[in-house]
Structure 1
């Protein structure tokens, strides 16, 4: 693994399994209704890191699973994730995702929501095919928590009074719940003790939160462009993320009025983005976000410290390091 960084070691070690997952995804998104595979194929082909299904594949293998149950379950995890992306883009009225037109901008909101529902259904079919009530419980519970997180985010959208606890509640539900479930399922299929399940769940949750917190920081960082992200999307949409929460709490009344105008009223003018970034730097809000992410990453690292050393554990730890290193 010498010289390999980021998600490369995980992708290399799981390449054969991931190829089977991708084949399962292509097979399961087929339908006699032509629009379904067309729209679903658009968002699946848009790529992404496949980090969530990789967690299921890697934890299963690290725990000694030698069968193929983890393939269908990793595909199920990716279907849940893809369905939530389709729904998120409708709710956020997003026009671009990873530099490409969103499904809702091409086919409309109704088709995107309904195909998202189709992918959720496919995910549950794969869970049922696996036959484990434990797996079904873990992934269905995660799906319910994600939906709660999405509704909670809707209720707190554009609200500058959102505090750190409120925001962490949202991302723990909306983002980290699926990371946690994806990692835990690996131990379930390997029939490992409950303590190992919980340890991997903790690892996945910490990784998911750290990953999202760094995404929040990257929205206000030139580093985003290097990673294929568009700087300022969260600001333009009026999203209240952790850097904003910190800057708002530490700012004076004039600064708070600026945040209210830009994020609550969405009254944004030329130069506002630059001023927002200046305020975030002035109050150390980006550094605070990174520090918070690193604290969750440390907890995740501690969570899998008891597992035997080996290439897969090393790759998971490198993925964890990458989750925060992207900010630099």
Structure 2
């Protein structure tokens, strides 16, 4: 039983969303259409459209409009995943071949560009110029976060501050935007909209920290990729960054100068120096902040859903 199943309205609307998403992503080009269809069929958490849909229920809900906005957000997210996988040279995602592995890098790049243009085409139908400029600025920040991550690979000088700034850009901003657009399209009050935006930001931070924790202590069969995958690519995340700060003997840094990495030894030291514990504590702080924003919202089943979604995401195993 999924969380959707506990909330019939959400379940019905998420099912409708899948149909809308597929309609928007139909392509006359057989190759691009096939590649994108494979990606859609692989599924995913669909968190961003769920946030958009739930947020919209705090205002004047219009299903057709919400499906349109939710689809554009998910399509943007899909485009970033394709490009991320190419840059990271990832072979699998959700235990399936990545697009560039299956269809080649050229097709994957075309597909990613197609998705970006499709998303903005959907948005440009009804959104005003100011909204489009705002969305574009968010996507620019997401890209900057990804570029910063790429440029800082294998850097021993990463700090907790730099890490938090990076995940705010590459992950949390899109969570925030998902909530914001849902609230705006439903004409929510300023107070409700601001609480939903802050909730999305804090949830996105907690979500990414959890993701990075799982890279060290996750179950490979559940997370769909090898443990230490980011570490092997030189992407140093919160557990390792904190552990390096506490490693007075320099054992971790010594291990990081040797290739290939001895992943098990590195993970042992990250745990020993409190990297996982620190990351879990910070994740819990962001989760608590997210819930504080939810407590400011009108009490209805959609607020209850967002509370449960928050708990599910920080307790997840994949």
The answer to whether the superposition gives a TM-score over 0.5 is yes
Give the one of 260, 268, 278 matched to 1:268.
Answer: 260
Structure 1 residues 196 and 133, CA gap change in structure 2 (3 angstroms): farther
Give the one of 14, 28, 51 matched to 2:47.
Answer: 51
Return the offset for 1:295. 0.8
The equivalent residue for 1:312 is 302
Q: TM-score, structure 2 length as denominator?
A: 0.93
Report the Cα distance in structure 2 between the residues aligned to 1:44 and 1:67, rounded to whole angstroms.
21
Q: Gaps spanning 5+ residues in structure 2: where? A: none
Return the offset for 1:26. 1.2
Deviations 1:10-33 (A, max 9, x none): 6x4322222232222212222222
> Are 2:92 and 1:75 aligned?
no
Return the offset for 1:91. 0.5
The equivalent residue for 1:213 is 209
Larger mean Cα displacement after TM superposition, 222-231 or 140-149: 222-231
Report the Cα distance in structure 1 between the residues aligned to 2:290 and 2:306, rounded to whole angstroms.
10
- Runs in 1 of length 4+ with deviation above 6 angstroms? none
> Are 2:92 and 1:113 aligned?
no
Structure 1 residues 67 and 39, CA gap change in structure 2 (3 angstroms): closer
Report the Cα distance in structure 1 between the residues aligned to 2:36 and 2:235, rounded to whole angstroms.
26
Deviations 1:213-267 (A, max 9, x none): 01111111144544545322122222111001011111134414334325xxxx0
Report the Cα distance in structure 2 between the residues aligned to 1:212 and 1:243, rounded to whole angstroms.
12
Aligned CA-pair RMSD: 2.0
Return the offset for 1:94. 0.6
> Are 2:32 and 1:36 aligned?
yes
Report the Cα distance in structure 2 between the residues aligned to 1:27 and 1:279, rounded to whole angstroms.
49
> Are 2:292 and 1:296 aligned?
no
Deviations 1:132-187 (A, max 9, x none): 44542442222111111111111212212110111111110001111000011111
Q: TM-score, structure 1 length as denominator?
A: 0.91
Report the Cα distance in structure 2 between the residues aligned to 1:248 and 1:19, rounded to whole angstroms.
45
**2:216 aligns to what SS in structure 1?**
coil
Larger mean Cα displacement after TM superposition, 312-321 or 131-140: 131-140
The equivalent residue for 1:84 is 80
Give the one of 215, 230, 241 matched to 2:226.
Answer: 230
Contact kept, 8 Å, 1:214 with 1:290, in 2: the verdict is yes
Give the one of 177, 184, 188 matched to 1:181.
Answer: 177
Larger mean Cα displacement after TM superposition, 17-26 or 242-251: 17-26
Deviations 1:289-309 (A, max 9, x none): 011111111111111211111
